[in-house]
Amino acid sequence: MASASSPPLRVLTIEDDRAVRRGVVDALKFAGYEVIEAGDGETGLAAALGRDYELLLLDLVLPRLQGEDILREVRRVRPTMPVIVLTARGDERDRVNGLRLGADDYVVKPFSVRELLARVEAVLRRSSARTATTVDVRIHGVEVCNAKRELRFADGTTEGLTERESELLAYLIANRTRIVGREELLQNVWRVDPRNLATRTVDVHVARLREKLRDDPSHPRLLITVHGQGYRLADES
């Protein structure tokens, strides 16, 4: 829940169903959040890129511009923005696709107010915890800045990380002395039950993380694939 002792956190809600949007907005306001709302894709994209907010709640099926297109653009311009997808698409393919595009969590309609608020609080809590972390880590000459969720290179350039990419890298760093399996990553980074879940979302995120680390995908020197087992960070030696 938003803290009463600090300015309210602002949530952007992009949802075309008037009744659903009204329910979401009322619930968030009652919980102490400030809310920006949009009812179509074009208006939503303008708000997503031009307004100040701490979390995006995004419907995938929208008039005038699809939610997936908005998510791609938000990830391009604001790579660290926490995003929760609101979707009526309950099948595995669409849930995985939302995660693959960079969503930090998803809520399948119909959902309860209690579930929605719990997920909002969880995503904001994780984001706030990482922002408050000031200890930076250096891996093979690349500085991982936890406070800003970015990579800093020796040539002075930087590369932003999404919340999920930041979590993935942090987990690998914390477990750098061993191989980390895909199921473990799904359970501890994506927070989904890996049983009977066939997905390549971990592989896709690893590939994107390699690209941002400037790690050659054909001969990676930082983020190593151990075939049949999982991933590990290369030793510093």
Mean pLDDT confidence for 62-80: 88
Token pair 């099926």 is at which residue?
A: 61
pLDDT of 133 > 50? The answer is no
Predicted confidence band of residue 128 (pLDDT cuts 50, 70, 90)? low
Is 120 part of a structural domain of the chain? yes
Predicted confidence band of residue 188 (pLDDT cuts 50, 70, 90)? confident
Q: Do 106 and 191 belong together in one domain?
A: no
Is 3 part of a structural domain of the chain? no
Supply the pLDDT for residue 132: 45
What's the N-to-C CA distance of the chain in angstroms?
Answer: 45
Higher pLDDT, 136 or 52: 52
Across 8-17, 84-93, 179-188, 199-208, the highest mean pLDDT is recorded for 8-17
- Residue-range definition of the domain harbouring residue 116: 10-131
Give the total number of structural domains in the chain: 2
Q: Do 95 and 33 belong together in one domain?
A: yes
Is 4 part of a structural domain of the chain? no
Q: What is the CATH number of the domain that holds 199?
A: 1.10.10.10
Please give the Cα distance from 98 to 75 (Å, whole number). Answer: 12
Supply the pLDDT for residue 102: 79
Predicted confidence band of residue 134 (pLDDT cuts 50, 70, 90)? very low
Supply the pLDDT for residue 236: 67
pLDDT of 34 > 90? The answer is yes
Residues near 172 by beta carbon (within 8 Å), at least 6 away in sequence: 180, 223, 231, 232, 233
Burial category of 163 from C-beta neighbours within 10 Å (exposed 0-12, middle 13-18, buried 19 and up):
buried
Q: Give the CA distances from residue 57 to residues 31, 63, 106, 198, in Å, rounded to whole numbers and listed in that order.
A: 15, 16, 9, 26
Count other C-beta atoms under 10 Å from residue 26's C-beta.
12
Q: Do 114 and 213 belong together in one domain?
A: no
Q: Do 46 and 68 belong together in one domain?
A: yes
Is 5 part of a structural domain of the chain? no
